[in-house]
Amino acid sequence: MDTPDKSEQSRRANEHRLAEAFLEQAAPLLAQHPEMTPEVETQLARIAQQVGIPDDQQQIVVQLLLHQQASAASSTRSAETESAADRLPAATSATNSHPTDPQPPPLPADHQPAPPTPAPPRASPPAPTETATSSVQTAGAGPLPPATPAVHAVAHIETFLAQARQLVAQRAAGTYTRSDLEELASETGLPTATVGELLESLTGVPLESARTPAVENPPPSQESIPSNTPAEQFLERAREFCQSAGKLPRGAVRKLSRLGLKEYRLSSVYIGHLLQQVTDEMGLDNTDQQPSDNLPDDPRIRSFLKSAAPILAEYRGINTQSRLLLSAVANDHDLAEDEVELAISHLQSQPEQRAGDVTDAQLRERVESFEKHLREVLRQQPHGIITPRILRKLQDAGVQGEGLSTALAKQTIQSVAQDAGVRTITQERAVEFIDRLLDDLLEHRSRINGTMRQQLHQEGHQWGLSGDQINAVIGERLAANQVIRIRSARRTMALFSITFVLLLGICGVLVYQILQFEPLATRPDNDTKITEPGSVGAADTPTTNAAHTDPAVAEEDWRDGPLGVAISQARGIDSAWREPLDQLSAESETTRSAAYLRLISLASANVDAPTRTQLLGNVLAGCYARDPSDTSAQQLVDALLETILDPETPLDPTNQAPFDLTIWALETVTTALSRPTLSDRRSAELAEAAGERIGWLIDASLSPQELHRQCRAAVSRHFFHVLTAAAAFHPLKIHELREYAYQDARNWLDAAEIDRLDVGFLVEALRRVGDEWDVYRNAVERCVRSPDPAVVLKLLEMYQEIPNRSLVSYLTDLLLARAGKPASGAKLTPADVSERVRVSLGTDAAATPEGRWRVLWSAAASAVDRLSPSSRDADWALLDDVLQLAHLNTMACALDQKEAGIATFDQLHRAGAPPATRNLDNPGPRGRSPYVGLSGTTRSAIEITRQDRYISRALEVLSAPRLAQRQSALSQLVDLTKNGDLTGGQATKLARYLTGKGKGQAEFDYLLAALPSFRHLPYLKLALADYVAAQQEVIPQLSQVVAQLLDLEEQSGGSVETWKRDLQQQLLRHALTGNGAENRDPGTGIHDSVQESLTESYATQARLRGLAEAQYLGATSPSEVLASLVRHAAEILEPTVTGANRHFALQIDKQIDAAEYLSANDFALTVRLQRLYLRLLCIDVIRRYATLQSQANAIIQQLHQEDEKTTELVAQLRSGETALLRAWLLLAEKAE
């Protein structure tokens, strides 16, 4: 045989240890309870589970322990057995002389049966067939053998048990069969047949053989029921009742049945078996049992049967001994031989069982009753699972309520659950689920809030875990996350430390290299030498002595950290900078002022190196903010502003350095104004001085980014002013500097302002440039094409004065093309050309209606061309366009009224459009915003635009892969929609997320918790209604979403069509109630300067179209006037149109009501009413000129496309006014 390897030896050693541990714990229990009861079986199974021993090994060990205890008891009774055999005749005589029980007469000596050999104590009742067989063999065995062989047999049994126990301990694993123990019995001197009989008679459990598997679940015996169980309590009550009553009638059976069902919670089947056991034990008549058809109704026979019952119980069935005793009893009752045989055959025809034994039929009835109970319970489980807690309750119901063993109860539960499709959740799976849920909630965090803990406890209770078990799982995961976090922090700290050490080493190397290459004369040791008092040169160098004060003392006074860093960075650039930088720490303000002048001079000398000059600018900005002396700070500002270009100073046309130096000076000013340590007084003084020097007000209250842009824009304007002044002296050479200024201005100014600045320079330069004007060709063409009429008019002034013929001819062609009236071969003077251009620009009102239409056409074309194609411009710029377009629409409406509107047209033409923003050429007081009156519409539009952008971003994040990101985006949507509504597209995206599939339970619960915050969003309800209509099956999660959103009970049951119809009706009903115009936020109404101008334009159009003043007079918002104007226009059109156009005019009131319902504020309502007004205007155009139908429809279609591209209300308002203007221009074409 091969020697097992180390792993096999280790496994056997472990098995041996487990077997020994189980023997130590099971031996005391079996000593106290020698009989195997369900309670003992449960305790042994629990001990085996704790120790880890297999079920088959547990069975063998228990059998051996019981056999050992029985053998010990048998050795003590061997002497008693022999003496009892000698005294058997005397005992029999004494028994026969008992006055109450009839006994058989004494038999002859040759027929005297040998007394049965007493069997050792048994752990459980043996099978009836085995007992009968043993009795027959004993009866026919003849006289008892001597006592000595019995003692030897006991010795052999003890030896066998000892070796078997040692074998079990050594071979803890595996299944022991009959052949294994038969081999061991042959070695110890026992016959092989004795092994099976011995163990079966002792334990009542057949040992496994090589061909027959062991019985795992033997039928439980009623005698094995523990005294504290409900069944035993019920038996005691039944016995007490039978003893007092002496019988068991049907009424008593019903009363006891009700008692067992209600008080002890036993099944009806189990109650019947227990009552049968009581009647059998006490020998009572059961009124429910009918007499046998084959047995005569003879009192003698029935009395014989009652006397025979104890004999059968004592001798365990019909055998030779019991038959002899029954014959004696039959003689006492005077029964004939045939009657005795009939009674005996009746006894043999009944099942041979002891009172209290459970037959197979009874066991099947209990199992069927338990299965029925299980099916009812499992049908009521809401989630289709059996948690560990429910499993324990079901096992208790099977063991105590049905009288089944624990193993059989488990097997029945598993079988029924599998048939019903119900999953059984073990404790390990429940813990694994809670662990996965923790992964989703915690990620890598080491703390958990109360909401998460409550959610985990709810989920854990549903899976059958207790609070302590859930807390244990949470604690383990938090501890693990804490370990991970600590390790990550340690790695980060280690990496940071290594990086810091490396940087420190690099800095040390750099400092060493700088000191090595630094001249000795410039080192700090030589600079800090102090001249002794009275020494030579002490009186001659006061400035030097003042500069060489202790730097540490000065730094403690006013230099802060950022300034120290800036000085350190500047010191490493150039050795020539170190002396003035060191002088910054001097106590004397004169020394510091001189250092400032030197640093500014160094910046002027290095203006071609932006990086170097930027470092010096940072130093000077910090010094101005922190210098303790106002005199030094003022001298610094004066010297700095002196570097800015002065229009009155002669300019070198070939030198670009002054322009770069001006940019550096203004950026230094911006840096100083952005310093948080700068006092308000110095900030105001610096901004005022810089603004006076540059010719533009600087707002120091702006943010650093806006302040920088403002200063750079001011520099660009200043450059053009300087170049315009210098063009009179250098009209040709200066064109390169003009190109430099133009390219720089494109980064900071809009195109219209650049054209206005550039045309001023061109007028001065072209008048003096002569024949070399071609260098400005591109600039001239750009100004002629400018959408600003003021730019073209400025060129017209110069055009009529220049003497250069080639330039005049060139400008003539450009200007006529700009006016849209080519010369066509006619010879025109500059005055004629100028007149045509002015007419095209609308600067001269014609006296005829056609002329006025041309003026409107020119002004409208210029305004439309000037519009930016992008809707992302500044909101105030878009509002400017809105007012300009509304003004032109009012002029067009006036011309459409013929003679009645001429005076209004001329008045509007002369007045011009009101601006929405302040005049940039005449800035207001310092510190004010560039917006005018942003208390209402403008500010509301800006806030709505920003909110739409934030909402769109949050909706995009809802599709992120991580759960935490999606939950964060949903929380942001809750905050963003508190005081507003979603657009149709936004609501569709949110509805798509709410109804999407693939969400985990945690995410879906989080979603349901957030839905009450969206109950005020009508578009969301409409989007969900559309989604419900597209479904082909009932979706429970969608029902939950709708119920939570509408605060209703969840709908269940019914067909798909009924489900869809009910959900749609609920969503639409809630969307159409409680969200009208009366709930609109008044704080977002139009009530500022833009509101007033727009309201006035719409009111003028209403007056021109014949609307009564009472309908629009006193209106406070454009939407009020526009609604009245739309109704009036529909009333005029309705009698003159047919078909769909007439239907639209008739339904105009419903259209207005829908617009009011869908609008969250007056701004949005104005946009929607604007679309209705455009539709009515296009219908009027088609009514007048049928050939314009395609063009009118194209205007409406184009507006719809633009609305789909942007959701910003300001941009939509401008698009609507543009579309109205184009519709009016269609009428202008026909009128012209």
Q: Which residue has the higher pLDDT, 803 or 715?
A: 715
Question: Beta partners for 386?
Answer: 424
Answer yes or no: are the C-beta atoms of 700 and 648 closer than 8 Å: no
Question: Mean pLDDT across the stretch 106-120?
Answer: 38
C-alpha distance from residue 884 to each of 859, 887, 889, 1198 (Å): 10, 5, 9, 21
Does 755 score more than 60 pLDDT? yes
What is the Cα–Cα distance from 858 to 840, expressed in whole angstroms?
Answer: 5
CB atoms within 10 A of CB 529: 8
Does 213 score more than 50 pLDDT? no
Question: Mean pLDDT across the stretch 291-301?
Answer: 64
Question: What is residue 86's predicted lDDT score, i.e. its pLDDT?
Answer: 42
Q: Percent of the chain beyond pLDDT 70?
A: 69
Q: Which residue has the higher pLDDT, 1229 or 1210?
A: 1210
Does 15 score more than 70 pLDDT? no
What is the Cα–Cα distance from 595 to 845, expressed in whole angstroms?
Answer: 65
Q: Which residue has the higher pLDDT, 1050 or 1138?
A: 1138
C-alpha distance from residue 707 to each of 583, 665, 742, 845, 1155 (Å): 31, 14, 21, 43, 42
Question: What is residue 1096's predicted lDDT score, i.e. its pLDDT?
Answer: 87
C-alpha distance from residue 235 to each of 248, 363, 1076 (Å): 13, 18, 75
Cα angle value 578/580/586 (rounded, 5°): 110
Answer yes or no: are the C-beta atoms of 226 and 232 closer than 8 Å: yes
What DSSP string describes 772-831?
A: GGGGGHHHHHHHHT-S-HHHHHHHHHHHTT---HHHHHHHHHHHHHHHT---TT----HH
Collapsing DSSP to helix, strand or coil, 1135 comes out as helix
Does 111 score more than 60 pLDDT? no
CB neighbour class for 361 (10 Å; exposed up to 12, middle 13-18, buried from 19): exposed
Among the listed residues 418, 367, 410, the one whose alpha carbon sits nearest the alpha carbon of residue 391? 410
Q: Which residue has the higher pLDDT, 873 or 751?
A: 751
Cα angle value 1144/1145/1147 (rounded, 5°): 65
Question: What is residue 68's predicted lDDT score, i.e. its pLDDT?
Answer: 60
Among the listed residues 767, 771, 766, the one whose alpha carbon sits nearest the alpha carbon of residue 781? 766
CB neighbour class for 12 (10 Å; exposed up to 12, middle 13-18, buried from 19): middle
Question: What is residue 394's predicted lDDT score, i.e. its pLDDT?
Answer: 84
The three state secondary structure string of 168-213 is HHHCCCCCCCHHHHHHHHHHHCCCHHHHHHHHHHHHCCCCCCCCCC
> Residue 1114 has what DSSP assignment?
T
Among the listed residues 366, 280, 352, the one whose alpha carbon sits nearest the alpha carbon of residue 38? 366
Q: What is the pLDDT of residues 989-1030, one digit of tens each?
A: 888 888 887 788 888 888 888 888 888 888 888 888 888 877
Answer yes or no: are the C-beta atoms of 448 and 477 closer than 8 Å: no
Answer yes or no: are the C-beta atoms of 637 and 686 closer than 8 Å: yes
Name residue, tokens 């019909």.
318
CB neighbour class for 1132 (10 Å; exposed up to 12, middle 13-18, buried from 19): middle
- Whether domain 937-1079 has CATH 3.40.50: the reply is no
Categorize the per-residue pLDDT at 500 as very low, low, confident or very high, splitting at 50, 70 and 90.
very high
Answer yes or no: are the C-beta atoms of 878 and 871 closer than 8 Å: yes
Q: Of 263-272, 937-946, 1144-1153, where does mean pLDDT reach its minimum?
A: 937-946
Q: Of 474-478, 661-665, 1103-1107, where does mean pLDDT reach its minimum?
A: 474-478
Q: Of 214-218, 231-235, 1003-1007, 1217-1221, where does mean pLDDT reach its minimum?
A: 214-218
Question: Mean pLDDT across the stretch 413-423?
Answer: 80
Question: One-letter amino acid identity for 1217?
Answer: E
Torsion angles phi and psi, residue 385, rounded to 5 = -135, 160
What sign results for the dihedral spanned by CA atoms 278, 280, 284, 287? Answer: positive
Radius of gyration of the chain (CA): 55
Question: Beta partners for 917?
Answer: 931
Q: Which residue has the higher pLDDT, 94 or 454?
A: 454
Q: What is the pLDDT of residues 1089-1139, one digit of tens each?
A: 677 888 888 889 888 888 888 887 878 888 888 999 999 889 988 888 888
Answer yes or no: are the C-beta atoms of 1223 and 1174 closer than 8 Å: yes
Question: Mean pLDDT across the stretch 619-624?
Answer: 90
What is the Cα–Cα distance from 416 to 422, expressed in whole angstroms?
Answer: 9
Q: What is the pLDDT of residues 1063-1096, one digit of tens each?
A: 877 887 777 664 444 444 433 434 456 778 888 8
Does 921 score more than 50 pLDDT? no
Question: Mean pLDDT across the stretch 461-476?
Answer: 79
C-alpha distance from residue 909 to each of 684, 841, 856, 903 (Å): 42, 12, 9, 10
Question: What is residue 846's predicted lDDT score, i.e. its pLDDT?
Answer: 46
> Residue 398 has what DSSP assignment?
I
What sign results for the dihedral spanned by CA atoms 1182, 1185, 1186, 1188? Answer: negative
The three state secondary structure string of 941-992 is HHHHHHHHHHHHHHHHHCCCCCHHHHHHHHHHHHHHCCCCCCCHHHHHHHHH
Categorize the per-residue pLDDT at 38 as very low, low, confident or very high, splitting at 50, 70 and 90.
low
The gap between the terminal CA atoms of the chain, to the nearest Å, is 121
Does 766 score more than 80 pLDDT? yes
Categorize the per-residue pLDDT at 411 as very low, low, confident or very high, splitting at 50, 70 and 90.
confident
Categorize the per-residue pLDDT at 184 as very low, low, confident or very high, splitting at 50, 70 and 90.
low
Average pLDDT, the chain: 73
Question: One-letter amino acid identity for 505?
Answer: G
Question: What is residue 316's predicted lDDT score, i.e. its pLDDT?
Answer: 62
Question: One-letter amino acid identity for 409?
Answer: A
Among the listed residues 811, 862, 816, the one whose alpha carbon sits nearest the alpha carbon of residue 836? 816
Question: What is residue 212's predicted lDDT score, i.e. its pLDDT?
Answer: 40
Does 498 score more than 90 pLDDT? yes
> Residue 125 has what DSSP assignment?
P
Q: What is the pLDDT of residues 1136-1163, one digit of tens each?
A: 888 888 888 898 988 898 888 888 788 8
Does 606 score more than 90 pLDDT? no
C-alpha distance from residue 116 to each of 69, 85, 128, 352, 908 (Å): 22, 9, 16, 20, 136
Q: What is the pLDDT of residues 315-361, one digit of tens each?
A: 766 777 777 777 778 887 788 777 777 777 766 655 544 545 677 77
Q: What is the pLDDT of residues 557-600, one digit of tens each?
A: 577 778 888 888 888 888 888 888 888 888 888 888 899 898 98
Question: One-letter amino acid identity for 9?
Answer: Q
Q: Of 535-549, 800-814, 1044-1058, where does mean pLDDT reach its minimum?
A: 535-549
Model's pTM, two decimal places? Answer: 0.34
Categorize the per-residue pLDDT at 271 as very low, low, confident or very high, splitting at 50, 70 and 90.
confident
Q: Which residue has the higher pLDDT, 755 or 132?
A: 755
Question: Mean pLDDT across the stretch 59-83?
Answer: 56
